[in-house]
Structure 1
Amino acid sequence: MAFSSAQLRLMSDLKAIRQEPPEGCSASPVNDDSLFVWSATIFGPDETPWEGGIFSLQLSFSERYPEKPPKVRFISEVFHPNVYRDGTLCMDIIQEAWSPCHNVSTILTSIQSLLTDANPSSPANPEAAEMYLNDRRTFNRIVRRCAQKSLEAPV
């Protein structure tokens, strides 16, 4: 059976993330039949309002990967300036700043750092951005609630 270049690259990404998983992140294909849909988990970074949370994501790859980035969406509820209400992520490395040198590990690591270093100047969620900038206490309280909720949701 011949594999497409996208499948070969996804197999390489899978091998890399299994051999050297990034701190606080994991990912693998949802099922053995397809390499194109992955589920991922990101642990909320320590000493942040996200701490203790276990956030689920879905990564959807196309046959054009790695030329085109995957679509990345939080399955867990997340209140963040750079996450749309439907969980879709607004992040430069999976949009205009995408490069084929990125892989699943670098994407997840970037998402994890975005949790603590939001970019409120390019908001996907204007309410969260406004709160992040002007009412960090309330923002952090909502984030803590999301982190708690992420532990209750079925994984």
Structure 2
Amino acid sequence: MALKRINKELQDLGRDPPSQCSAGPVDDDLFTWQATIMGPSDSAYEGGVFFLKIVFPTDYPFKPPKVSFNTKIYHPNINGNGSICLDILRSQWSPALTISKVLLSICSLLTDPNPDDPLCPDIARQYKSDRKRYEEIAREWTQKYAM
């Protein structure tokens, strides 16, 4: 079941890729993908190219894929290990969701962080109290690690 669904998603991504994103298998392993997200314009991540790792469980799509950033990023919902705090990758996962929708949700998270459900409380505090400084640091990290 998982392999059939993963193959279908791969074909769909090839036919209709989400804007600013791409994804596909690493070598011949259909259960491990690399994704690329272009930093959204009008965000502190603009111009950056962010690489993510996607690992599908054997019971996909009934369990969510594990998605993490390989590229360092300064963000309240993404920690130093690249883990992402996003409800659809945890409790709100549904088999109706696809990798395409997950990548679009992550892009949206880059544009609109959720400081009320942070993985990095210090960055979330800064985002709420000193947005200008948060954006400066996020831009610096983008230039340093994603360009």
| Common fold: TM-score over 0.5 | yes
Counterparts of 1:63 and 1:72 in 2: how far apart (Å)?
A: 15
Quote the residue 1:142 is aligned against.
Answer: 137
- Once the two structures are superposed, residues 21-60 of structure 1 have per-residue CA deviations (whole angstroms, 9 ceiling, x without a partner) of 100000001112x111100000011111111010000011
Matched, 1:35 2:30: yes
Counterparts of 1:39 and 1:106 in 2: how far apart (Å)?
A: 15
Quote the residue 1:56 is aligned against.
Answer: 51
TM-score by length of 1: 0.92
Counterparts of 1:51 and 1:109 in 2: how far apart (Å)?
A: 15
Aligned alpha-carbon RMSD (Å): 0.9
Quote the residue 1:105 is aligned against.
Answer: 100
Alignment equivalent of 2:15, drawn from 15, 19, 29: 19
Flag as ranges the 4+ runs of structure 1 deviating above 4 A. Answer: none
Quote the residue 2:116 is aligned against.
Answer: 121
Q: Size of the alignment, in residue pairs?
A: 147
Alignment equivalent of 1:130, drawn from 125, 131, 138: 125
The runs of 5 or more residues in structure 1 that have no matched partner are: none
SS state of the match for residue 146, structure 1? helix
- Once the two structures are superposed, residues 76-111 of structure 1 have per-residue CA deviations (whole angstroms, 9 ceiling, x without a partner) of 001111112211111001100000111110000000
Counterparts of 1:146 and 1:23 in 2: how far apart (Å)?
A: 23
SS state of the match for residue 54, structure 2? strand
Counterparts of 1:70 and 1:55 in 2: how far apart (Å)?
A: 18
TM-score by length of 2: 0.97
Counterpart residue identity of residue 35, structure 2: A
Counterpart residue identity of residue 82, structure 1: N
Residue identity (%): 44
Counterpart residue identity of residue 36, structure 1: F
Quote the residue 2:73 is aligned against.
Answer: 78
How far does residue 144 in structure 1 lie from its aligned partner after superposition?
0.6
